[in-house]
Chain A
Amino acid sequence: MHLELRKIKIQNIAFGEENVIRDHVLYLNKESLAEEVMKDKRIKKVDFDIARPGESVRIIPVKDVIEPRAKLEGDIFPGIFKETMEEGGYGVTYALKGCAVTTTGPIVGFQEGLIDMSGPAAEYTPFSKLNHLVMVIEKQPEFDAHEHEQMVRMAGIRLAAFVGQLAVGQEEYESEEYTWDSIGEKYAQYPDLPKVVYVYNCMSQGLLHDTYFYGRDSKQMVPTMITPLEVMDGALVSGNCVSPGSKTTTWHHLNNAVIEECMKKHGKEINFMGIVLNPLMVSLKEKYRDCMLTVRMVEMLGADGVIISQEGFGNPTTDLMLVCQGLEKRGIKTVIITNEDAGVDGMSESLPDSVTEADAIVSTGNSNATIMLPKMEKTIGVLSDVAKTTGGNVDSIQDDGRLLIEIHGIMGGHNLQGNTYLGAITI
């Protein structure tokens, strides 16, 4: 299995007559974008805007952030648009780096967060460093919350694929080659390196808490082995807004930091044997079954060590702990990536569940810590929805227009795939 990723640097986005990439600027024609989005008749209205790094702009409530990508041949986001599909992870994929398609509009449910393009919140999230094509979507009134979520999610993915298509044929790019061999070949290639498996937890719990694997709801699957290459091609799409700070957006799936790290170290310090995708379900019975199967699959891959990335918090902490305990009991060294809910004052225990085997934890920070955000000159979306976001409440908007929120509310602020730099210490 071999994939070439051709990365094209985008330094700015501008609206214009035609859809084209020129000198690292992404020019987009609003009418043609609207036409693409309005193919979905359930959408009443769509507006487009641009947010650039450093601007006094706040996007809220953000539903998804997606990196535009395209395949030289075949479909990006396989299984999302059609019943038929080809396996992702082969051939040539184009990626527009430095930019994103970002969806917003009236709130679907309680929890979508914000992106500030400047100010203190910008330090927390990689999204403040991207040029955003922001899409403000309104639905026709007759559609319910589930359809609302679905139409917004699909509009974002469709537009990211549409914009990504502009990359095909571009001649200036940075190329990265990825090879993924069979387990047997890996054993033979690097017999002396420690074998490492990545356990990839994904939320599978209903509206705004779902993940899509080749376009199918991850609630309907058992843990399975996947390849890092298909993830880069969009085999995983986010339908999840668990909590903005720790949410895994589609951008995070496409740029999974653990996969990146494992690929970087593969053949040098580790033998990267594989990934087990573990859906985080609602009921205890499903949690036990899925964690058991995950541990077994990791063991069958011959792992000496495992990194587990987390999604969500609260009941998913149980899955995290069960897998960690199961692996450690089999002598497989395990490291966990998680956030903390240590309370606004930082004085509470950090996690709602624990096992003593969890002795190697990377913390992406205390979600409950508060931050005062300055007033922005421009808001794209609906500022008052901060009352319904995780980390926000009705008292968040101050009299002088500033915003007091828990860092939970910052999209991608403390991503549990380890994409960010935030951590926490005890003093």
Chain B
Amino acid sequence: MKKVLFYTNQFFGQIGGEAEAYQKPFIEQGARGNAQAFVPLLEDAEIVATIVCGDNYYAENMDEVKAFVEAQITELSPDLIIAGPAFNAGRFGIACADICKDAVQKMHVEAITGLYEENPAVEMYRKDIYILKVGKSAAAMRKAVKLMAGFANKLLAGKEIGLPKEEGYYPKGKRVNVFRQKNGAERAMDMLLKKLKGEPYETELEISVYEKVKPAEGLDTLAGKKIALCTSGGIVAFGNPDHMPAATAKFFKQYSIEGMDGLKAGEFESVHAGYDPVYANLDPNRVAPLDVLRMMEKEGKIGSIYPYLTTTTGNSTSVADATRMGMEIGAILSNAGVDGVILTST
């Protein structure tokens, strides 16, 4: 028989209302409060214990409560954690989702909760855990318990989890490849015909809307300023000793350019697969113009050049990887007291 550990708050754990929101976490054997509603629906599994914790106590002592839950997990080694459902309750929702995330990521135990779609915890945690889509308030408890218990049974039995829509969980946002019945052109025609007729159709990819990155204000003067040279044009040390990929790079490199008047062919080369590299290999300054920058330094037009070329391959790079690398590079340059950056792309 599989073991389930249950987490709930002071209200559903039948301690009391808002007055008991500072209840410290405690554990009780078996199913307590709303956990009892799950008991008849779980197949070949039992709720071995219920943890009850006040919402305010959790909000103000998150690490302590998580440590408490972790200790219970170590003690009981449950197969699954069920938290909530928390419906549209803000504090309780975050507590449930946070407990679940901790269980999954730190304790490697599967964990689920149930939340209403407007509960802020949905957006905060949907990437990390299975959050079942439930109603707004406790009036929807019966339906919520049925959905969550059904999902719990599937997880416990090791059955394949279906699509978010079929199973009733919020999509985690992970894109997964699948083979379809029709080829892409046939699907495009089907979609177009529906769109033309005004019939409902489903796009295969919801478009992401990006915030435009606002460039920093320009420098008033270049005189005396420290300028860094960055490129996504895949210029690396000749022979590519750091194994920079031709596409989908997930890291950037910094090469010392101290004392160099420019980037020499044979010392640097392009490994970028997204453009014709012949001209960049003949003269890497065409992509990362150190030669001109050095001249400007000598002429006193700029103060100095940051002594490293920061480089990656910007080709088929995912937006997430690009964003992360941008943050990391920004931090390094900012710490090094760089005033301005020339970032070249290809």
A residues near B, CB below 8 A?
109-111, 123, 144-146, 194, 196, 205-209, 242-243, 257-258, 260-262, 265, 269-270, 282, 304-307, 309, 313-314, 333, 335-338, 340-352, 354-356, 358-369, 388-395, 406-408, 415-427
Which chain B residue lies CB-closest to A416? B184
The bracket for how many chain B residues form the interface is 35 or more
B71 at interface by CB-CB < 8 Å: no
A87 to B314 alpha-carbon distance, docked (Å) = 40
- Give me 30 A-to-B residue pairs in the complex whose CB atoms sit less than 8 angstroms apart, sorted by A's number: A110-B247, A207-B276, A209-B274, A261-B188, A261-B189, A270-B193, A307-B188, A333-B196, A335-B192, A337-B185, A340-B205, A342-B175, A343-B320, A347-B173, A347-B174, A350-B205, A354-B208, A358-B207, A360-B191, A363-B204, A366-B175, A390-B248, A394-B243, A408-B316, A423-B177, A423-B179, A423-B187, A424-B175, A426-B172, A426-B206
Query: How far does the Cβ of A44 sit from chain B's closest Cβ, in whole Å?
Result: 20
Residues A348 and B320 in contact in the complex (CB < 8 Å), given A194-B196, A360-B191: yes
A365 to B187 alpha-carbon distance, docked (Å) = 13
A355 to B274 alpha-carbon distance, docked (Å) = 23
Query: How far does the Cβ of B41 sit from chain A's closest Cβ, in whole Å?
Result: 24
B321 at interface by CB-CB < 8 Å: yes
The A-B contact count (CB < 8 A) is 243
Hey, which chain A residues are within 8 Å of B272, CB to CB?
Answer: 110
Q: Give B55-99 interface residues, CB cut-off 8 Å to A.
A: none
B205 touches A109 (CB 8 A): no
B298 at interface by CB-CB < 8 Å: no
A115 to B91 alpha-carbon distance, docked (Å) = 54
A359 touches B203 (CB 8 A): yes
Residues A258 and B185 in contact in the complex (CB < 8 Å), given A307-B192, A341-B317, A390-B246: yes
Residues A243 and B316 in contact in the complex (CB < 8 Å), given A363-B205, A366-B177: yes
B208 touches A418 (CB 8 A): no
Known contacts A389-B246, A425-B178; 9 further A-B pairs (Cβ under 8 A)? A209-B274, A342-B318, A351-B208, A390-B248, A390-B315, A424-B175, A424-B176, A426-B175, A427-B171
A209 touches B171 (CB 8 A): no
Which chain A residue lies CB-closest to B171? A426
Which chain B residue lies CB-closest to A342? B175
Which chain B residue lies CB-closest to A423? B180
Hey, which chain A residues are within 8 Å of B278, CB to CB?
Answer: 144-146, 207
A422 touches B189 (CB 8 A): no
B185 touches A260 (CB 8 A): yes
Mask, B301-341, CB within 8 Å of A = 1, is: 00000000000001111111110000000000000000000
Q: Is the interface of B mostly helix, strand, loop or mixed?
A: loop
Query: How far does the Cβ of A347 sit from chain B's closest Cβ, in whole Å?
Result: 6
B52 at interface by CB-CB < 8 Å: no
B100 at interface by CB-CB < 8 Å: no
Residues A335 and B188 in contact in the complex (CB < 8 Å), given A111-B273, A345-B174, A427-B164: yes
Hey, which chain A residues are within 8 Å of B314, CB to CB?
Answer: 314
A424 touches B184 (CB 8 A): no
B174 touches A346 (CB 8 A): yes
A190 to B210 alpha-carbon distance, docked (Å) = 42
Hey, which chain A residues are within 8 Å of B193, CB to CB?
Answer: 194, 265, 269-270
Query: How far does the Cβ of A321 sit from chain B's closest Cβ, in whole Å?
Result: 9
Hey, which chain B residues are within 8 Å of A209, CB to CB?
Answer: 274-276
Query: How far does the Cβ of B296 sit from chain A's closest Cβ, in whole Å?
Result: 25
B residues near A, CB below 8 A?
127, 161, 163-164, 171-189, 191-193, 195-196, 201, 203-210, 243, 245-248, 250, 271-278, 314-322
Which chain B residue lies CB-closest to A366? B175
- Across the interface, A258 reaches (CB within 8 A) one of B163, B181, B188, B191, namely B188
Query: How far does the Cβ of B344 sit from chain A's closest Cβ, in whole Å?
Result: 14
Query: How far does the Cβ of A209 sit from chain B's closest Cβ, in whole Å?
Result: 7
A196 to B185 alpha-carbon distance, docked (Å) = 14
Hey, which chain B residues are within 8 Å of A343, CB to CB?
Answer: 318, 320-321
A333 to B197 alpha-carbon distance, docked (Å) = 10
A33 to B206 alpha-carbon distance, docked (Å) = 49
B175 touches A335 (CB 8 A): no
A209 to B272 alpha-carbon distance, docked (Å) = 13
Hey, which chain B residues are within 8 Å of A424, CB to CB?
Answer: 175-178, 204-205
Query: How far does the Cβ of B294 sit from chain A's closest Cβ, in whole Å?
Result: 27
B183 touches A305 (CB 8 A): no
Hey, which chain B residues are within 8 Å of A389, CB to CB?
Answer: 246, 273
B318 touches A341 (CB 8 A): yes
A309 to B172 alpha-carbon distance, docked (Å) = 29
> Which residue, of A123, A360, A390, has the highest number of chain B Cβ atoms within 10 A?
A360
B274 touches A349 (CB 8 A): no
B189 touches A408 (CB 8 A): no
B273 touches A314 (CB 8 A): no
A223 to B327 alpha-carbon distance, docked (Å) = 39
B273 touches A390 (CB 8 A): yes
